[in-house]
Structure 1
């Protein structure tokens, strides 16, 4: 089999990162060699995101840049933005007689799994012109992505795809389709492969974990999956590795959800919440009236009995159509009363094809940015307080961001990673012979702009 070279550029969510890794491994098995410089590649693939207008613009800009620096490569566009006409519109390049397509091959998200087969090697080696669009019917069942490793030290494990909720602002149901759940045994087998390969932390991820098992009731729901995974993995990996959950909704954190979390031995004391807002009026207009923000505060209080320290993050949208100053004040009050350790705060981005795009009461861009800034400032104060409180902890466990081939370099430039509470950490003055695989016992020594400064702990007796 002749060798061909490829370059992958990934935008967006952790599920996209997972799918790019699956493509990477599939292409390497088919004789592909990954290169960091797209100018050297036979195939350049952009795995795009469309959750915001900026994501769409980023994909289009990347295509134009890559076409310029890698004119000889077959340029492939896939991912959620590949289904949006704004990205696909032909552009007129300097010296060209006619507008030209932004990519040689367009594979929408619904058909991304087609890239796992022998399609790309043949395009890279047979010299035939790729078709402009190869859209087919959507993949039936869970897309056949799987991984054996990860380019980053902390891999993503995809357990669910798609969403059927139809939040009024969200384009994801239009790009990823209906809910599809992965078979539990396949999830367990992949988790074992990753942990036995030396990864110390796995992030369990999906497009909407609340909907896990909706299409396959025999799989159970997300909580039954999580508890079962923990029971299967903990005898071998407790104390050596951990699981982290990518994103939950407040409504999932009922008494069963709390009990499930507290029964697990491998799950990090950290939650990331798809909150979006605290005003119930705004949540209802968003199509998220099935929960109240206060459910999160109640869950945090219940979890604190066994998780006296926990990381807490959230996704928040400001400037949704019809949002009032009273709604913003409600959100600011909620942030002040909730122990957030960080949050991702976004101005509302109108997406064509969603219900909210046609709502009345759209807010001027400058005002959306100002409201987002006020909430970011409030979250920043919470984050600062949380990180300073971490300095009082006697020890913690670091999952170091050391990938294959980088250990020597990272020893000289500084080891970075996260602790169990999802606080960024930098290991100062590491012991030269110190192992950096597994969970590294450390103690905090100070703060810098990026997070905690930590040093190794010889005897981790103080760790919970």
Structure 2
């Protein structure tokens, strides 16, 4: 019998990518052939997201898409949506198996490779959220690796469903993190992105021990233990109230941590921040941005914003808009508020219409585009280091990101793939990508800052 073909599709965050890659690797040792999700497969695994209603809708679209590829395919749902609403998913026509947060890491135990019979409603194998920590990292399909160092969240933001999907905050031990970082480096990974639900909360509970550490402990130990010059570390999103000034100062002097910060704001109105049950006011956020600019002027600073939160009046929105306009940040991820079952915000009055949400979303997207282009233009004629990615489309350019997260392209050279290469930034092209020029004489003499 030939190998069964299995395909994976990841929705949502970098953390999901790390976990999908880890789960997929378990099948490489078995009698399965992994193929693209765009291809015919016997089994499709969807690692779902449930941050917004749009994510739920996309999940249903994906099921229909895979059924068109192979009407007899066996479709498995894992991830946050599967953990929170297993019964709802089980009645989506085409889904055959729903696995909870713990069970997804034992997925091969629940598949009979011989009799992959479709079921309706789908079989559910899901337990309540537990306190286990499942180490995860991505490798093989990208020049960078997403590496999970922390899971769960103890925060109670009124709009957020993730703590219900992933449980309380817990972390990988520093010892294990260092071992895996070294493993990834030995495998040729040039950039490692530290991911989690709330990475700034790292160390409050180290899984399997009574030890307590801090995020600062972690980044210091990582910096001290990486001996290779051509490796860089990137941080994923970190809560502004957890990014202390001493952390920023330390990172500004780092040889490996790149000047890239993603600080979720969510609203520029203190009234709305209070209703969201965020743990800071906008004055603190402004202070953190200024701290970064003082120590690392060229750093990329991204942010998340939610528009249309219940009770967000026109005045509240204008507060957010003008606050953001003055902030020296580089980019905005804009989300329209989405009601999530079992969250506190669903009980709030004064819900905002979709029409107004879309209008506010569009205004902030335009502001974001302006800020990003402004940030890029300030970097023109500066020397940066780009990690170039594999070119799968036979284009004339290679693409990659500078240390401060500017999407950059250079004329194709095979030798540049998966290498850190020193370039001079020339101009922003019409597609919004920075055009760069190689600095040939400095191939072996580059710094990350």
- Same fold per superposition (TM over 0.5): yes
Mapped to 2, the partners of 1:63 and 1:107 lie a distance apart of 16
- Cα shift at 1:169: 0.4
Structure 2 counterpart of 1:84 = 85
Structure 1 counterpart of 2:151 = 161
Structure 1 counterpart of 2:401 = 418
Segment drifting more, 224-233 vs 251-260: 251-260
Aligned counterpart in structure 2 of residue 450 of structure 1, from 432, 435, 444: 432
Structure 1 counterpart of 2:96 = 104
TM-score normalised per structure 2? 0.91
Deviation readout 1:196-227 (Å, 9 max, x if unpaired): 22221111110111322222362412221111
Q: 1:12-411, aligned counterparts within 5 Å?
A: 12-36=12-36, 40-82=40-82, 83-84=84-85, 87-88=88-89, 90=91, 101-115=93-107, 117-120=108-111, 123-126=112-115, 132-143=123-134, 145-147=135-137, 149-216=139-206, 218-233=211-226, 236-238=227-229, 240-288=230-278, 290-393=279-382, 395-402=383-390, 406=391, 409=392
Mapped to 2, the partners of 1:11 and 1:30 lie a distance apart of 25
TM-score normalised per structure 1? 0.88
Gap change, CA 1:379 and 1:126, over 3 Å in 2? closer
SS of structure 1 residue aligned to 2:5: strand
1:436 aligns with 2:437: no
Q: Does the 8 A contact of 1:46 with 1:76 survive in 2?
A: yes
Q: Does the 8 A contact of 1:42 with 1:124 survive in 2?
A: no
C-alpha RMSD over aligned residues:
2.3
- Cα shift at 1:411: 6.5
SS of structure 2 residue aligned to 1:415: strand
Structure 2 counterpart of 1:96 = none
SS of structure 1 residue aligned to 2:400: strand
Mapped to 1, the partners of 2:63 and 2:426 lie a distance apart of 44
- Cα shift at 1:137: 4.4
Q: Does the 8 A contact of 1:63 with 1:103 survive in 2?
A: yes
SS of structure 2 residue aligned to 1:207: coil
Q: Does the 8 A contact of 2:101 with 2:126 survive in 1?
A: no
Matched residue pairs, number?
A: 439
Deviation readout 1:17-70 (Å, 9 max, x if unpaired): 001100111110223211125663221111111100000110111112212321
Mapped to 2, the partners of 1:86 and 1:374 lie a distance apart of 38
SS of structure 2 residue aligned to 1:104: strand
- Cα shift at 1:343: 1.0
- Cα shift at 1:358: 1.1
Mapped to 1, the partners of 2:318 and 2:364 lie a distance apart of 10
Mapped to 2, the partners of 1:110 and 1:287 lie a distance apart of 29
Mapped to 1, the partners of 2:396 and 2:338 lie a distance apart of 38
Deviation readout 1:127-176 (Å, 9 max, x if unpaired): 56777111134444212x43472312121010011112121001111111
Mapped to 2, the partners of 1:37 and 1:279 lie a distance apart of 42
Mapped to 1, the partners of 2:348 and 2:129 lie a distance apart of 30
Mapped to 1, the partners of 2:117 and 2:292 lie a distance apart of 59
SS of structure 2 residue aligned to 1:298: helix
Q: Does the 8 A contact of 1:111 with 1:137 survive in 2?
A: no
Q: Does the 8 A contact of 1:113 with 1:139 survive in 2?
A: no
> Structure 2, unaligned stretches of length 5 or more?
none
Q: Does the 8 A contact of 1:199 with 1:438 survive in 2?
A: no
- Cα shift at 1:453: 0.8
- Cα shift at 1:264: 2.8
Q: Does the 8 A contact of 1:38 with 1:44 survive in 2?
A: no
Deviation readout 1:113-133 (Å, 9 max, x if unpaired): 222x4443xx22255677711
